[in-house]
Amino acid sequence: VPKGHRWHASFYDRLMRSTERRIMADLRARVLGPLEGTVLEVGAGTGANLPYYTRAARVVATEPDPYMLEKARERLRDVNHPAIDLKLASAEALPFPDASFDHAVATLVFCTVPDPERALREVRRVLKPTGRFHFVEHVRGEGLVGRVQDALRPVWKFFAAGCVINRRTAELIESAGFVIESLERRRLQFGVPLLVGVARPAERQSPASAR
Ligand SMILES: C[S@@+](CC[C@H](N)C(=O)[O-])C[C@H]1O[C@@H](n2cnc3c(N)ncnc32)[C@H](O)[C@@H]1O
């Protein structure tokens, strides 16, 4: 568990305010509102998603940065849901048994996770075989946008608390053993693509079908 980013945690909501109004708030409502059953959120940050879990029976929101988690705790006080828990944990090492959630959620997280392959395998492990992984992630664009993202990567990483601006998250999701069922491409800002998707665990090959 990292030591955390105190400054980033205190300014995150203010830095995100216009993005929230323009695009994120609607997406959060649309993606999270319908989820039922048990939900795991990774990288919950300041808890921006917490008000939107209106139908879920139980939500466990995890976050490895203690300063972010503290902000999420403050936000949770105003959320009217009887069963949302917050837990300090990295997505690379989720403290839950296999196949324990109906849904997993990540919004603007896999850009920042240091080992996304490992984290995605963890998400897959804790999801039920019938479960779904819902993600909203900015990714590397095509052409000039992608090349600008490549060039900005080191500076951006420093100023944006570890965010890797040119990550190819959809490809990583698939190679971690998911099938992407739906994928909508929006624009976050400056032509940077924002993917809104749902993935399900790919069926493991049984010894019989491998023959
Ligand atoms: C850009 S913020 C997004 C926060 C929130 N999900 C949202 O939609 O506003 C990225 C978050 O990922 C978290 N993060 C960084 N490394 C992580 C890891 N290894 N596992 C899970 N979350 C991580 C950061 O602490 C931060 O809270």
Indicate the pTM of the whole model.
Answer: 0.95
- Tell me the CB-side half-sphere exposure of residue 19, using CA atoms within 13 A: 17
Residue in 109, 137, 163, 196 to alter for ligand 1 test, most ligand atoms within 8 A of Cβ: 109
The strand pairing partners of 107, in sequence order, are: 136
Listed in sequence order, the residues at least 6 apart from 136 whose beta carbon sits closer than 8 Å to its beta carbon are 24, 27, 28, 31, 106, 107, 108, 194, 195, 196, 197
User: What pLDDT is attached to residue 206?
Assistant: 63
Q: What is the pLDDT along the chain (211 residues), one digit of tens a residue?
A: 557 899 899 999 999 999 999 999 999 999 999 999 999 999 999 999 999 999 999 999 999 999 999 999 999 999 998 899 999 999 999 999 999 999 999 999 999 999 999 999 999 999 999 999 999 999 999 999 999 999 999 999 998 999 999 999 999 999 999 999 999 999 999 999 999 999 999 987 666 654 4
User: What pLDDT is attached to residue 205?
Assistant: 64
The two structure tokens encoding residue 44: 């919950």
User: What pLDDT is attached to residue 211?
Assistant: 47
What spacing in Å lies between the alpha carbon of 99 and ligand 1's midpoint? Answer: 23
Q: Is the C-beta atom of 70 inside 6 A of ligand 1?
A: no
User: What pLDDT is attached to residue 204?
Assistant: 75
User: What pLDDT is attached to residue 175?
Assistant: 97
How far is 98 from 40, CA to CA, in rounded Å? Answer: 12
Question: Do residues 95 and 66 lie in contact, with contact meaning Cβ atoms separated by under 8 Å?
Answer: no
Distance of CA 75 to the CA centre of its chain: 18
Q: Is the C-beta atom of 136 inside 6 A of ligand 1?
A: no
